[in-house]
Amino acid sequence: MQSQTEFVVEKPIHRPRTPPFRGINKESQIDDGDLFDFDDEVEPILSVILGRTIEESQTEVLEEEELKSMKREQQRMHRKKQAE
């Protein structure tokens, strides 16, 4: 029977050196009403985007239906021409 030892060299854990902070901490005072209300500000933009998306989708569906109708009519005319 044989055994083999796994050769492992333990390396020291290298932690990156972070330089000490050399700045001045600043603060900002934000009063009520200084920041915008997200829900109130986004709602008009979102409604425009959704409206345009729905309108574009409806237009694409109508165009696809029209193309299908034109293809059916073309096939009908082709069959009629072959029958003649």
* Angstrom distance (rounded) from CA 16 to CA 44: 48
* Angstrom distance (rounded) from CA 11 to CA 37: 53
> How far is CA 20 from each of CA 23, 24, 68, rounded to the nearest angstrom?
9, 12, 70
Q: What is the pLDDT along the chain (84 residues), one digit of tens a residue?
A: 666 666 676 777 777 888 888 888 888 888 887 888 888 889 999 999 999 999 999 999 999 999 999 999 999 999 999 998
pTM higher than 0.85 for the full model? no
Per DSSP, the three-state class of 47 is: helix
